[in-house]
Structure 1
Amino acid sequence: MSANFGERLREIRKRRGLSQRELSQNSGVSLSLIRKLEQGEREDTRLETARQLASALRVPTTRLVAEHAEEPADDATVNRWVPVHAALAAPVQLDGLAEAPTFEGVRDAVRAAVPLFSHDRFVELGSALPSLLRDAEALTEIDPRGRPLRARLLELTGWLMTQTRQFDAAEMALDRALDDATDRIQGASTVNTQCWLLLRRGKLADARELASRWADDVEPRMSRATPAELCTWGWLLLHLSAAAVRDNRPGEAEDALRLANSAAVALGRECTPEGGFLRTFGPVTVALKRTENAMVAGQPDKVLTLAARIPMNSLKPMSNNRNRHLLDVANAYTQQRQYAEAVDVFKQIRAGSPQWLPNQRYARDILAGIVGKRRTLTPEMRELADLVNLPV
């Protein structure tokens, strides 16, 4: 958060003719926090709080915050992935290879690795990914068929690095993946992951611009669109909506969501085109993102109403959609002071994706809210707090 946040907050508040107390009442943000921000005693706050203040002041969130990145991975996490970072940055070296990689071998290895990505098998990926990246690099030097394989692997690696909050490594992998893309759909798929990275880095304006530009470029003719085209276009619109709602542009967010829903209706079902789980899209995906937008907008009651209509048994226990949605549900329960229900949701996530949960700052924030409101903690609450590394 920029150190000028408090100055901008005070300036806009005065232009609106509001006192600090009135801004507190209109935004739901405590008066003491507003005072500390404006006086420079606090130089940062959560993006959710900034959005609440911006909404009360009727300005885009980006008028208050230039950038508000999620907390990067800690040193222990980064150290676990050093071999992957090294493989991403290392120059290609064909000399000294005991055996040159083959197209068939690398293709089969990438296919075998996809379930490790989709099921958050971080330990196994930490072991397998460095050599696979090196083989894909070497193959592309000797066989042009290796280029789309390398693009796909780099996209998955960028997604993984984003998932684990290693943002610089993610940017490197995704930039290279986009450069390697051999067709428009592959490129747009990589851009979708880049949009997610920008959102996690708090670069809302950049995410909106990138998603909007590519959505315009790849918009298909609905009468003859392929499933791959509809999925790719739909995801770009969902990322546009996600950036817009966080930037306090609810009309733009709803317009993008409505267009994404038209793509989902044209598909008629959840569809995973060739290219894997990152491209899965359909009516349920749109419903999940509509619920996420409601949570960002501070409407926990709407979140729980929408969530009750979503057939969760149709979704696999993976982080890309389902688990993020479940965190929104847990957050809504927490804000409604239904702490037991929130803990039950966390248990559901832990059962399906135990390696995913510790990497989620959002999960830590929600559990901090639960712990802070309870006089005593149940054993399950303590276990979950330890799992997400909640400070004591």
Structure 2
Amino acid sequence: MLGERLQSVRKRRGLSQRELAARSGVALSLVRKVEQGERNSVRVETLRKWAEALGVTTTTLLEADGASQPESSHPDDLAPLREALQTGATDLEDVPTADGLRSAVAGAVRLYHDGQYAELTAVLPVLVKEAQTLVEQGGPDALAIRARVLQLVGSLATQTRVFDVAEIALEGAVTDAIETGDRIEAASAVITLCWLLLRERRLDEARVRAVDWADEIEPRMSRASNMELSAWGWLLLRGSAAAIRDNRPDEADEMMRLALSGAVRLGREHGSYHEYFTTFGPATVQMKRVENAIIESQPERALQLAREVSPGLRPTSDNRNRHLLDVANARVMLREYDKALDIMTQLTREAPEWLPNQHYAKDLLTTIIGRRRTLTAEMRALADAIGLEP
């Protein structure tokens, strides 16, 4: 159990519970509750603080039974997709064409980036069946198209925390993409798979996969295409995200530095809603630097970096939304609760389907509410909008 693991490492370091709490900045009461078995899971950010104080990697603490993989929420929400993945191709009255399916996938990608999850959930089972039928027919681009469809399924399932569906889809996407011989297509699927691994707290696996693939496709800067730089850069960002959470700050900084070199080479955000590949460029890297600063509990630095994100360089909306939550978190850390609430209220208007799927948002609002004696109408409305349980 997590508590036993934490206690074992703490004792080996010769620290009392009080000393660990002081070094990590985590409440003594939480240390005690975890070690006594009253809490069997905590946020990765908390584990990282303990790992830093103890001089170990976060993975060392995540090896505890039940601590490494948070439970999926609403596991039956994607039941039609799970069934489509498991049943294979079916007889269709209208046989799909490669061009028609590509167009449909482009539209589905737009739904994903716009946060239209309910509509996307209805569309994807049909796309999965059509892609599987196309593969059975042996079309020349069938595997590449199915890889894109499966990657989109994996993205939706990861976003909505239905992890079993996400893993089936993304492992399939990687396999299909590798079989096409297109390394960049395969790297795209791996980037999404690493995101899933991060959400499942499989930090070491995410870091190793990202680094291995970044090494595999490392471009020559003088000749690299925009897509090659984007793929390489995103692999490095995933690796950096895993490393910073695993208390490997030097590795995280080095990967972020390399990603920035690729972004500078691009000079702008590259990508569009009509490609699955999410955008990559200077603004995206800068936003991920903000995220790393939040993980390291450096709110002032996070806000400074956030001010340096150019408003003229637009990332995809889902990456921007996550960035805004990081900025809100910085405000919470500085006890600027009204400013944090303003950001989250903005997100309820701009991303009403995206926000309720973010445990991050729920955690932030729970913290804010816990600091107030009474709730304002704005707080109650926000709690309802993100599905915060009473």
Counterpart of 2:254 in structure 1 is 255
CA distance in structure 2 between the partners assigned to 1:159 and 1:114 by the alignment: 10
Q: Deviation string for 1:278-317 (max 9, x for gaps)? A: 3311111110000000001111121111112212453267
Alpha-carbon deviation of 1:38? 2.3
Does residue 49 (structure 1) correspond to residue 43 (structure 2)? The answer is no
Alpha-carbon deviation of 1:51? 0.9
What are the within-5 Å matches in structure 2 for residues 231-380 of structure 1? Answer: 231-272=230-271, 276=275, 278-312=277-311, 314-315=313-314, 318-319=317-318, 321-380=319-378
CA distance in structure 1 between the partners assigned to 2:266 and 2:384 by the alignment: 42
Alpha-carbon deviation of 1:24? 1.1
Q: Secondary structure at the match of 1:64?
A: helix
Counterpart of 2:62 in structure 1 is 65
Counterpart of 1:122 in structure 2 is 117
Q: Deviation string for 1:136-184 (max 9, x for gaps)? A: 1112211232221111111111111101101110111111111111200
CA distance in structure 1 between the partners assigned to 2:287 and 2:255 by the alignment: 14
Give the % identical residues. 51
Aligned residues: 383
Does residue 21 (structure 1) correspond to residue 37 (structure 2)? The answer is no
CA distance in structure 2 between the partners assigned to 1:317 and 1:271 by the alignment: 10
Q: Which amino acid aligns with 1:145?
A: D
Do the aligned residues in 1 keep the contact of 2:210 with 2:236 (CA within 8 Å)?
A: yes
Q: Which amino acid aligns with 2:358?
A: Q
Counterpart of 1:227 in structure 2 is 226
Alpha-carbon deviation of 1:213? 0.7
Q: Which amino acid aligns with 1:126?
A: T
CA distance in structure 2 between the partners assigned to 1:372 and 1:312 by the alignment: 33
CA distance in structure 1 between the partners assigned to 2:88 and 2:327 by the alignment: 45
Q: Which amino acid aligns with 1:290?
A: R
Alpha-carbon deviation of 1:91? 2.1
CA distance in structure 1 between the partners assigned to 2:54 and 2:185 by the alignment: 40
Do the aligned residues in 2 keep the contact of 1:227 with 1:273 (CA within 8 Å)?
A: no
Do the aligned residues in 1 keep the contact of 2:355 with 2:386 (CA within 8 Å)?
A: yes
Structure 1 pair 173–144 and aligned structure 2 pair: CA distance change class (3 A): same
CA distance in structure 2 between the partners assigned to 1:220 and 1:314 by the alignment: 23
Counterpart of 1:153 in structure 2 is 149
Q: Secondary structure at the match of 2:62?
A: coil
Do the aligned residues in 2 keep the contact of 1:71 with 1:361 (CA within 8 Å)?
A: no
Counterpart of 1:211 in structure 2 is 210
Scaled by the length of structure 1, what TM-score is found? Answer: 0.93
Do the aligned residues in 2 keep the contact of 1:318 with 1:352 (CA within 8 Å)?
A: no
Counterpart of 1:103 in structure 2 is 98
After the TM superposition, which segments of 4 or more aligned residues of structure 1 sit over 4 Å from their partners? Answer: none
Do the aligned residues in 1 keep the contact of 2:89 with 2:130 (CA within 8 Å)?
A: no
Alpha-carbon deviation of 1:197? 0.2
Compute the RMSD of aligned alpha carbons: 1.7
Do the aligned residues in 1 keep the contact of 2:269 with 2:315 (CA within 8 Å)?
A: no
Q: Which amino acid aligns with 1:332?
A: A
CA distance in structure 1 between the partners assigned to 2:290 and 2:232 by the alignment: 20
CA distance in structure 2 between the partners assigned to 1:36 and 1:354 by the alignment: 35
Q: Which amino acid aligns with 2:98?
A: F
Structure 1 pair 172–342 and aligned structure 2 pair: CA distance change class (3 A): same
Does residue 178 (structure 1) correspond to residue 192 (structure 2)? The answer is no
Alpha-carbon deviation of 1:274? 9.3
CA distance in structure 2 between the partners assigned to 1:71 and 1:297 by the alignment: 25
Q: Deviation string for 1:196-248 (max 9, x for gaps)? A: 00000000010011011111111011111111111000000000000000000
Do the aligned residues in 2 keep the contact of 1:155 with 1:174 (CA within 8 Å)?
A: yes
